[in-house]
Structure 1
C-alpha cells in the first residue's frame, strides 16, 4: 500500500511540472539555508571542544572598579600564578602562566618567518591536549626550547625532521625544537598558535617580566593565567574561594580598585565573552540565536509555499478525493496518500539541497570566516538529516493532508468546496512576507550602522599609513639613518616608532593625578609610548598646543592627550587651551600637557574613545609607522622600504600592514552578519516569490473563463491586470504593516549595545515596503498580464 502511495505521488508530481518545480525549488532553497546555518551553529557550539579537557579548563579573570564601573579582563598579575599553584594546588591539576599571543620572528639557516605564538609555562601542551606528531611536549621544562605547529615546522624545515635542531626567536633567543604538534583546529581559541616557547625564556630575556615576577608586582597586570581544574573541584566554589586573593596580597594601594579574581570556564569563552559592569552579559550566543531563528523561518517559508500550493490545488484534487471516498477509502488512507506525496517532494528537495550546500559551502566559509565541511561519514549528521526530512515533510504536508482528506464525497464530486481554504492561504502569505520584510529591514539597519561607524571621524589620516612590526632593536638603533635612506628614495615622508600600532591600544594604566581631581576617583588611561615624529607621521589633528619636538629636552616629560582625557579631567575650564601647561602626575612622576588632539579611534569604532595619553618613550621601537609619499607608486615604495629595512636588519622578515586595511577589520564581525543576513533575506524573498508565482498561476487558471467573459464584455487588459493583482498587493501591504513594529523593536534592541549608533528612520520601513510591493507586482504580473492579453475565445473554450 505504501508503495502504491508513492507511485500515485510520483504521477501527481510528474503530471504537474510547474507545481512540482516551484515546490521542490522553494524547499531546496529553504533546506539549503537550514543546513548551512545548522553547520554554522554546530561549529559555534563546538568551539574549543577539540581540547579534551574542555569542561575543566578555565581562564583567570580580574575585575576592578574604575571610574565607578566594574571592568573585567583577562590581564592578571604574575604573582597570582605562584599563589594558585602554592595554596590551591589540590584544586587545580594544572596552572599555566602565558604571555599574550603576538607575532615573533622565527629564524633558521638564514631564512626567517613571522608567526604568532605564546610563551607558556610547562603543562600548557597537556592542558590543551596538543597532538604531538614529532618529539615530546615535555621539552618545555627546558627554558631554551620551542614547540612548533605542523604547518610552521613545514614552512621552516621543509621535509626534514625539525626535532633537536637549533633556531632563533627574534634574532637573539637560541632555542632547540623539542616537538611538533598538529595544527589546532580553526574553531579553537588557539588556532593561530604557531609555536609555544617556555615562559621562563620570556622572563629571562625581558627585563620588565623578570622584575614583575621577582618583585611580586601585584599592581602590574600584564599576563594571562589558564587553569585546569581537578576532577573533584567545583568551578563556582573555587572561583568564590580565590575571589579576594589580590585584595589580600596587593596591599592598601590596590583596595581602592576593589580587585576580584574569578574563573571563566572555556565553555563560555567563545559564546559568552562580553562583560558589562562585572556581569557576563553574552556575546556571540546572540548570533547563534539570530541565525538559528532565521534558518527556522526561511525553512518555514518554504513549507508555507507547499501548504499554499497544495490547498490552492484543492479544486483539482477534489474529485479524486470524492471518488476515493465513494469507493471506500478511509480518511487515514487519504492522509497517508497526501503525506507520502509531501515526503517525496521533501526527499527530492533534500537531494537538491545537499548538492547546493556542497557548491555553496566554500563561498559560505569565506563569508562566515569558517572552515566547515559536510560530515558525510558522521552517522549523527545523517540521523539529523533523516529526522529533519521527516519533520519538514510532516510540517509541509500536514495541513494539506488533513484539509484535502476532510472533503465530503458528494460536495467533492460536485466541486462545491466553498472558500474555506482561502483565509488560511492568505494568512500564510501574510506570515511569509512579514518574515521577509523583517529580514529586509534588519539587513538595511545593519548596513546603515556599519556606514554610520565608518563615517565617524577617526582623528588621524589613515590613507597611505604603513605599520611594521619589528622584533629586534636593529631599526631602533639605526632609526635616523633608516629615515634618511627612505627619504632619499622618495617613498616615505615621515617615520615613527611606537609601542602599539595606530589601530590598537596595548597598554592602560592607573595612578594618575591632576589639579581638581576627586580623590575617590580611580581612573584608567590608555598610555602609548611614541617617538617624537609619531604625531607628524599619523597626522594628529591638534585642537590646542603643539606636537613633540626633539629640539626641546623638556618634551621628555611632556604629554599629548586626547580630547576625551581633557573632558574627563575637567582641565578645559573655558576652552581647550586652558589645559596646556597643566601638570599630570603619573605614579609620582610629573608630566606637563603640551598638546590636545582630536579623539583618535584606535579600538572599536562603535565604542567611546578611551582617555589616552601619549608620551615619549626612549625604546618605543616595537612598531614602526611610515607615511608613504602620495606622489610615489605604492609598489615602488614598499620595495624601497623593504630594501632599507633589510639593510639594517637583514635577518628579519619584512612584515607590514596598511592602517586603512587594519581599521577596516574592525568592521569585519558586523559586515559578516550583514552579508549573511542579506543573503538569507534574498533567499527568503525568492522563496516567498516562488510561492506567490505558483499561487498566481493557479488563480489565473481557476479564473480563466471569468477573464474571457470580462474581455468579451469590454474589460481592458489593464483593468484585468488590476483585478488579478490587487489581492496580492493587499496581502503584502498587510505584511509590511505587521512587520514594521516587529522590525523596529528588534533593531532598536540590537542597536542598544552600541554606544555610537545610527537611528532607525521611517524611511527604512517605507523603502522596504516599496521594494517588497514592487517585487510582488513584478512576480504576479507575468502570469496576470499574460492572462489579460489572452484571446477570449481560448479562455472560453470548453475542455
Structure 2
C-alpha cells in the first residue's frame, strides 16, 4: 500500500513539474533558512558550555552609584579574592583572581608575536577545565611559568616539544613553558586568550599593583568563582553583597558598591544591565531569529498548502473515482499525506545540501564557526521531528480538504469549488506578506539606527589615524628621536603617546574635586593620559582655551575637559579654574568638544585629559594623506623595528576599531536583511505558482474577453488586482506590528533614530512592486495567448 502511495505521489510530482519545483524549492529554501537559524541559535545557546563546570562558574561583579546613576562593573579590587576565600569559603569551591586581556610580546629565538593572554591563579586551570595537551593541571604553580595555546606553541616552536623551553615576555622576563592547552573555541568567553600565566607573575612584574595606596580602591581585576555544589547563586550574592562596602573608605562608600555573582550561563546572553537590573542582552536576538525561522518555515508551508488546495479542482475527478471504487476516507488522507511527506523528504535532503553550500558564507556573515552536526543524535532527532512536523503542517489541510469531496457531484460534473473556497488561500497569502513586510520594515529600521549612530559626530578625525600598541616601552624611551626620523620619512604629519586607545576608556577616578562641588556628590570620571600633540594627531575640536604645549612648563599640572565634564562640574568659565585630583591641584587650560570613546549609542561621558608621558600604552600616528597607507606603514615599521626590534610591528586603523563598536548591530542587520530577502523570495515563489494557477483556471474567460476586445493591459489589471489587494491588506496589518516591535527595540538605545513614516510607505510600495513583477509574467503571458487555442480546448 505504501509503495503504491509513493508511486502515485511520484507520478503526480513528475506530471506537474512547475508546481513540484515551486513546492520542493520553496520548502527546501524555507527549511534551509530555518536550519541555519537553528544552528546559529544552538551555537549561541552553547556559548561557554565548553567548560565542564559551566553551571557552577560565576564572575564577581558590582553595582555602583555614579553621579546618581547605578552602573554595573565587571572589574573589582584584588584584595576581594582573599576576603571571599577567608570569610565565605564554604560557599565557594574555588575563588580565582585574574587579570584578563593583557597584551604581551612572546619571543623564542627569531620568532616573536604580540599576543593577548590572561593571568590566573593556579586553580583557574581546574575551574575552567582548560584541556591540557601537554603538562599537568598544576602547571601554574611556579610564578615564572606560562602555558600556551596549541596554535601559539606551534607558531613559536613548530614541531619541537615546547615543554620546559624558556621564552621571553616583553624582552624582559624569562618564563618557562609548563604546558600546552587546546585552543578555546570561538563560542567561549576566552576565545581570544592565547596564553595563560600565573597571577603572581603579573603581581611581581607590574609595580603599580604592589604600590597602590588603597588596594580596595583600584577596580582593575576580575574574580571568577566556582560555587560549592550545594550553593545557590542568588543566596551567595546576598551574603557577599556588602563585602566591599565594609572595606572601602567613607568617600567611596557613598558609591554604595554592591557585589553579586553573574553565572557563566548569563555572561553571553544576559550581559546588559540598567539601573542595577539585568535587562537581557543577546537573548533578544535569539528570540528574534527563532521567530524569523519559524515564520520562514511557515511561509514555505503556506506555499505548499496554497498550491495543493488551488489545484484541488484538477484532482477532484481522481478523488471521485477513488471513492467510487471503494477508497475509504482514511486511505485518501494517507495518500495525500504520503505526497506531503515525500515532498518534505526531498526538500529536507535538498535543504541539507543548501546548508552545506551556504555555511562558509553564513559563517562569514555571522562571524561564527558553525558546522552541521552530522554525528550529533540531537541534530537528526531535531531534523526528523522538524520534517515530520513540517509534513503534517503542510499536508493536513490539503489532505482533509481534498479527501472531503463528494464523488457523486464530482463524477456528474456538478462539483464546484465554491465562491468562498479561495478565502483560506487569500488569508494565507496575506499572512505571508504580512511577515515579509514586517521583516522589510524591521531591516530598514535596524539599518537606519546603525547609520544614525555612524553619522553622529565623534569629535575627532579617524581617517589616516593609526594606533600602535606598545607592550615594550623602547619606543617611549627614544620617542623624540623616533618622531624626528618619522617626520623625515614624510610618512606622518603628527604623532603622540597616550595611555589608551582612542576608542575606549581604560581608566577612571572618583578623586576629583572642583569649585562648587556638592560634598555629597561622588562622580567617577574617565581620565586619559596624553603627551604633546595628542589633540593635533587625533584632530579634536578645541572649544575654549588651548592644547598642551611645550611652550608652557606648567602643563604637567594642567588638564583639559570635554563638554560633558564641564556640564557635570557646572563650570561657567572653566579656563583657569583649579580642580584637585588626590589633593593635587590641576589647572584647566582647555575645553574640547565631546569625543566618543565608549558606545556611540550612549551619551558621551565626562572625561578629563591630563598631560602624562609616563603611562604609555599606545602611540598614535597621523599618516601623511599625500602618501599611500601601505608605503607610510612600511616606513613607520622600519623606524619602529630599528628602535624596538623585540616587538613585532602591530597596528590598527582607528576608523576600523571604531567601526567594531557597531559589530553586533551590523551583524544582526546583515542576517535580518538576508532572511528578509529569502522570506520575500519564498512568498514570491508561492505567488508565482498561484498566479500561474489563476491564469490557467481563467484561460477561457481570458480568451472570450480578448475576442470581445479586451487589451493586454485590461487583462493584466484583471489578473493582478486581487493580488494587489491582498498585499495592501498585508501592509495594513504589518505596519502596527512592525512599529510595536521596532519601537521597543529602539528604546534600549539612548542615542537613537526615529521611525519615520516613509519607512512604512517604502516597504509597502516595495512589496507591491515585487508582487506586480511576480504576477505580471504570468498575467501578461496569459493575456498575450492566442484566444483561438484557449477556446478550442474542448
1:715 paired with 2:710, answer: yes
> Given the alignment, which residue of 299, 304, 307 partners 1:306?
304
Structure 2 match to 1:111: 111
- SS of the aligned residue for 2:246 comes to helix
- Once the 2 structures are TM-superposed, how far is the Cα of residue 347 of structure 1 from its aligned partner? 0.6
Q: Which runs of 4+ in 1 moved over 4 A?
A: none
Match in the other structure for 1:779: 774
Residues of 1 paired with 2:251 and 2:42: CA distance? 47
Aligned position for 1:612: 607
Q: Does 1:44 align with 2:44?
A: yes
TM-score, with length taken from structure 1: 0.98
In the other structure, the counterpart of 2:555 is 555
2:566 is aligned with 1:535:
no
SS at match of 1:738: helix
CA distance in 2 between partners of 1:620 and 1:83 (Å): 30
1:730 aligns with 2:725: yes
Which of 245, 248, 256 is residue 247 of structure 1 equivalent to?
245
Structure 1 position 31, deviation (Å) = 0.3
Pairwise mapping of residues 394-793 of structure 1 onto structure 2 (< 5 A)?
Answer: 394-413=392-411, 414=413, 415-572=415-572, 578-793=573-788
CA contact (8 A) 1:137 1:147 kept: no
Q: Distance in 2 between matches of 1:444 and 1:270?
A: 26
Structure 1 range deviating more: 631-640 or 476-485: 631-640
1:642 and 1:41 map into 2 onto residues whose CA distance is 43
1:84-125 per-residue CA deviation (whole Å, 9 max, x = no partner) reads 111122221111111121221111113210111011111111
Contact 1:628/1:637 (<8 A) preserved: yes
Work out the CA distance in 1 between the residues paired with 2:21 and 2:334: 22
Contact map agreement 1:62 1:73 (CA 8 A) in 2? yes
CA shift at 1:331, angstroms?
A: 1.5
* Structure 1 position 457, deviation (Å): 0.6
RMSD value over aligned CA atoms?
1.1
CA drift at 1:36? 0.2
Tell me how far 1:216 sits from its aligned partner.
5.9
Contact 1:321 1:409 survives alignment (8 Å): yes
Counterparts of 1:508 and 1:127, CA distance in 2: 31
85-94 or 748-757, larger mean C-alpha shift: 85-94
Q: What CA deviation, in whole Å up to 9, does each residue of 1:43-77 have, x standing for no partner?
A: 00010000000000000001111111111111101
Separation (CA, whole Å) in 2 of partners of 1:120 and 1:443: 43
Structure 2 CA distance for aligned equivalents of residues 667 and 510 of structure 1: 29
Name the counterpart of 1:155: 155
Distance 2:202 2:35 in 1: 46
Displacement of 1:620 in angstroms is 2.7
Does the aligned pair in 1 maintain the 2:67–2:523 contact within 8 Å? Answer: yes
Alignment of structure 1 residues 47-126 onto 2, 5 Å: 47-126=47-126
Deviates more, 1:423-432 or 1:582-591: 582-591
Superimposed CA distance per residue, residues 608-638 of structure 1 (whole angstroms, 9 cap, x where no aligned partner)? 1111100011313210001111112211111
- Whole-angstrom CA distance in 2 between matches of 1:119 and 1:171: 18
CA contact (8 A) 1:528 1:613 kept: yes
1:207 corresponds to: 207
Q: Measure the CA separation in 1 of the matches of 2:696 and 2:340.
A: 23
Distance 2:107 2:753 in 1: 48
Q: 1:796 aligns with which of 783, 791, 794?
A: 791
Shift of the 520–253 alpha-carbon distance from structure 1 to 2, 3 Å rule, reads: closer
Aligned positions of 1:142-291 closer than 5 A: 142-212=142-212, 217-291=215-289
Task: Choose which of 343, 355, 358 in structure 2 pairs with 1:357.
Answer: 355
What is the SS of the residue equivalent to 1:55?
A: coil
Q: Distance in 2 between the 1:418 and 1:232 partners? A: 67
SS of match in other structure, 1:528: strand
CA contact (8 A) 2:170 2:646 kept: no
CA distance in 2, matches of 1:777, 1:120: 63
Cα distance between partner residues in 2 of 1:797 and 1:387: 49
For 1:457 and 1:494, the matched residues in 2 are separated by 22
Q: Tell me, in whole angstroms, the C-alpha distance in 2 between the residues paired with 1:798 and 1:658.
A: 71
Deviation (angstroms), 1:254:
2.2
Distance 1:418 1:86 in 2: 81
2:48–2:54 CA contact under 8 A, matched in 1? yes
Contact 1:526 1:611 in 2 (8 A): yes
Asked if 2 retains the 8 angstrom alpha-carbon contact of 1:78 and 1:216, the reply is no
- Asked if the contact 1:43–1:372 (Cα under 8 Å) also holds between the matched residues in 2, the reply is yes
Contact 1:13 1:20 in 2 (8 A): yes
Q: Indicate the SS of the match to 1:222.
A: coil
Any stretches of 5+ residues in structure 1 without a counterpart? 573-577
Residues 557-606 of structure 1 show CA distances to partners (whole Å, capped at 9, x for unaligned) of: 1111111111121112xxxxx11111222221211111111111112111
In structure 2, what is the Cα distance between the partners aligned to 1:410 and 1:776?
A: 39
Which deviations, in whole Å up to 9, do the C-alpha atoms of 1:20-47 show, x marking residues without a partner?
A: 0000010011000000000000000010
Aligned equivalent of 1:384? 382
C-alpha contact (below 8 Å) 2:500/2:616 kept by paired residues? no
How far apart are residue 507 of structure 1 and its match? 1.0
- Aligned residue number for residue 575 of structure 1: none
Distance 1:110 1:398 in 2: 69
On the 8 A contact 2:146/2:177 being kept in 1, the answer is yes
SS, match of residue 738 in structure 2:
helix
1:628-653 deviations in whole A, cap 9, x for unaligned?
Answer: 11112211111111111111111111
Q: Distance in 1 between matches of 2:347 and 2:622?
A: 56
Give the Cα separation in 2 of the matches to 1:405 and 1:585: 87
Q: In the alignment, what sits opposite 1:11?
A: 11
Using the alignment, how far apart are the partners of 2:508 and 2:337 within structure 1? 65
Shift of 1:748: 0.9
Quick check: 1:561–1:596 contact (8 Å CA) kept in 2?
yes
Q: 2:329 aligns with which of 331, 337, 345?
A: 331
Confirm or deny: 8 A CA contact 1:137 1:178 kept in the other structure. Answer: no
Q: Are the aligned partners of 2:465 and 2:622 in contact in 1 as well (CA < 8 Å)?
A: yes
**Secondary structure at the counterpart of residue 208 of structure 1:** helix
In 2, the alpha carbon distance for the partners of 1:73 and 1:55 equals 22
Q: Cα offset for 1:332? A: 1.5
Q: What SS class does the counterpart of residue 754 from structure 1 fall into?
A: coil
Give the equivalent residue in structure 2 for 1:368. Answer: 366
Query: Deviation at 1:511?
Result: 2.0
Cα deviation for residue 201 of structure 1 reads 0.8
Contact 1:141-1:198 at 8 Å conserved across structures: yes
| Mapped partners of 2:493, 2:750: distance in 1 | 36
